[in-house]
Structure 1
Amino acid sequence: MSQKAILWFVVAVVVVLGVGYMMSNRAVAPAEVPAGESATVLPGSESVATSSEPVTPTEAGIGVNGSVGGGATVAGPSTQSFTVTGSNFSFAPAQMRVKQGDTVKITFVNSNGFHDLVIDEFTARTKQLAAGASETIQFVADKKGSFEYYCSIGTHRQMGMKGTLIVE
């Protein structure tokens, strides 16, 4: 085979690989999800619900302000559950808010690409997940402050794949 034919073959392979990479990492427009409803991302699905608003979870019968029924206040730590969706270079929601002492349960759903979720201060991290996979982590928010959660793969964090956990 001549050197010119080999060169054309190498160029063709590089082009095919580049197009394949771009197609697998294309951005997907977020789906509309009405307030108060949740979205489920199925394996192979690319629909993602996003919000730039802080999310404070509610438990059955307990309002966001801690009131129950007739206005009584609930005291003490509780379990706060979140679903965080990761897509290429962003998390939704970008902010979560809990009280000190709460048990925090985060289900990370990876909608596309290859990502994880890490919160260093609480030694909490998921495995690195392929598109369509999910994992749940749990920890106690035992210190107050603002803590960054991020994707530790490559330069994803520097590219904006991060959010904030606020412990009050």
Structure 2
Amino acid sequence: LVPGPDMLTKHLPVTFSLVWTIVLANIITVGICFLLLNRLAALTAVPGHLLVPVILVLVFIGSYTANSSYADILVTIIFGAVGYFMVLAGWPRAPLVLGLVLGKIAENYLYISVARYEAAWLARPVVLVLLAIAIGVICYPAFQAWRARARGRAHA
């Protein structure tokens, strides 16, 4: 069974079985969570020095078992260190994650646009509006700093 449009045309009963299985699993999970609510809430009181090693072990087990590769553990360590140093430097980590996740997709669609429209896609109205917004977002902090300096000189 290959995911895609054929799931809804050729394999509709199997698709509905999968959907109903997920619905049933979620209902059962909600019931179990309500039964164990107090015990699960007690996990928030576990000190960090006990919880962090357990989470790290689970992270490394998960990264290894995904492809049975020690290189994945090395990648996990590298990105963990990058994230840790980003926290120390006060840098947000979300843009890095978004760039890593969406970068390949954006590159693929950029290639498709260039192959289909060549350079003409740059003159399309939607592209121009998005480009103007991007330039504005990038330049706005510099403009604010310039304006603050100008006001500081005017008051001095």
Could you tell me the TM-score, scaled by structure 1's length?
A: 0.17
- Structure with more helix by fraction: 2
- Structure with more strand by fraction: 1
> Which of structures 1 and 2 has the bigger CA Rg?
2
**Structure of greater relative contact order (alpha carbons < 8 Å, 6+ residues apart):** 1
Could you tell me the TM-score, scaled by structure 2's length?
A: 0.18
